[in-house]
Amino acid sequence: MSRVLVTAGAAGIGRSILEAFVKAGSQVHICDVDEAVLNRTMQEIPGVTGSVADVASEPNVDRLFEDVKRHLGGLDVLVNNAGIAGPTGPVETLSLADWERTMGVNLTGQFLCTRRAVPMLKEAGGGSIVNLSSVAGRLGYPLRTPYASAKWAVVGFSKSLASELGGFGIRVNAIQPGIVAGERMKRVIAARAASQGKSEREVEEQYLEQISLRRMVEPTDIAAMVLFLCSEAGRNITGQAISVCGNVESLK
């Protein structure tokens, strides 16, 4: 039975990843910034433990990993799932605070968690790290420059770590989700519609027209790929950025 930490694991894609690992028999600890949602998830899935934590905060991450040690006794898998959409708008209108917050959660948070996780993975004799990037990490994304910049950086972070940690039996991969159905995507569409002066339906149709399969992916699709990469079946996959997206052709 593997010992797993999923950041932002109480809702959305993180909740689906949590459920997939629990179904596979893993012992899972999650964190989230929303204490109410975190508590509800732990009540709904017996045996799951959790911490309130903002991954962009070094003290929060330090407390999170003390909780992981206490509840799991070690670590075999880290899933760096926490992320935010960041601001939508022309680059000249964006604030430094919004830029730094987007980078803080989407990139620095992965660094802070990985820095604490690696000694535990080495102690376990190896393991797996999965970092959530995005198709915005392989495509340009106008009006979403902070988000896209962070997600491109996640790919470089992951590939570098794969080379650095391979000798310790630690595999590192990035997943690049496409347009994922759910409340977060609804908020992104609403913000983009407001920025472009279009209806939300028009913006949604724009997105779908840029996907080869003409449909959004589900959080369970992402969770299935995470589980595969961390399983014995994925034992020789490392240093990869894998899109689960229905083939998003462009982001405009």
Tokens describing residue 153 = 């950086």
Residue 240, CA atoms < 13 Å, CB-side half-sphere: 15
CA distance 246 to 243: 8
Task: Please check whether residue 189 lies inside any domain of the structure.
Answer: no
Q: What is the pLDDT along the chain (252 residues), one digit of tens a residue?
A: 699 999 999 999 999 999 999 999 999 999 999 999 999 999 999 999 999 999 999 999 999 999 999 999 999 999 999 999 999 999 999 999 999 999 999 999 999 999 999 999 999 999 999 999 999 999 989 999 999 999 999 999 999 999 999 999 999 999 999 988 888 788 888 888 888 888 988 888 888 999 999 999 999 999 999 999 999 999 999 999 999 999 999 987
Q: Specify the number of domains making up the chain.
A: 1
Amino acid, single-letter form, for residue 61 = V
115 to each of 37, 109, 122, how far by Cα in Å?
26, 10, 12
Q: Out of 21, 141, 147, 152, pick the active-site residue.
A: 147
Q: Are 56 and 109 in contact (CB under 8 A)?
A: yes
For residue 149, which phi and psi values (nearest 5 degrees)? -60, -45
Q: What is the DSSP letter of 139?
A: S
Catalytic residue at 147?
A: yes
pTM listed for this prediction? 0.94
- Domain range for 19 is 3-179+217-244
Cα dist from 105 to 159, 176, 217, 218, whole Å: 19, 17, 23, 23
Residue 147 lies in a domain: yes
Tell me, yes or no, whether 212 lies in a domain: no
Q: How many residues does the chain have?
A: 252
CATH code of the domain containing 72: 3.40.50.720
